[in-house]
Structure 1
Amino acid sequence: MSRMAHQIIEKTALDSADAPRVVLLGIPTRGTTLAERLAERIETFTGVRPPVGSLDITLYRDDLRGKPHRPLERTSVPSGGIDDALVVLVDDVLFSGRTVRSALDALRDLGRPRAVQLAVLVDRGHRELPLRADYVGKNVPTARTEDVSVQLVEHDGHDRVSISDGSGARRSDPEVDGSGARRSDPEEDGKDAR
Structure 2
Amino acid sequence: MNRTSVKIVIAGGFGTGKTTLVSSVSEITPLTTEELLTSASVGIDDVTGVESKTHTTVALDFGRITISPDVVLYLFGTPGQDRFWFMWDELAEGAVGAIVLVDTRRLDTSFPAVDYFERRGIPFVAAVNQFFGECEYTDDEIRSAMELGAEVPLVWLDARDRASSKLALIALVRHAMSRLPQAA
TM-score by length of 2: 0.40
User: Where is the helix percentage greater, Structure 1 or Structure 2?
Assistant: 2
* RCO comparison, higher one (Cα < 8 Å, 6+): 2
User: Where is the strand percentage greater, Structure 1 or Structure 2?
Assistant: 2
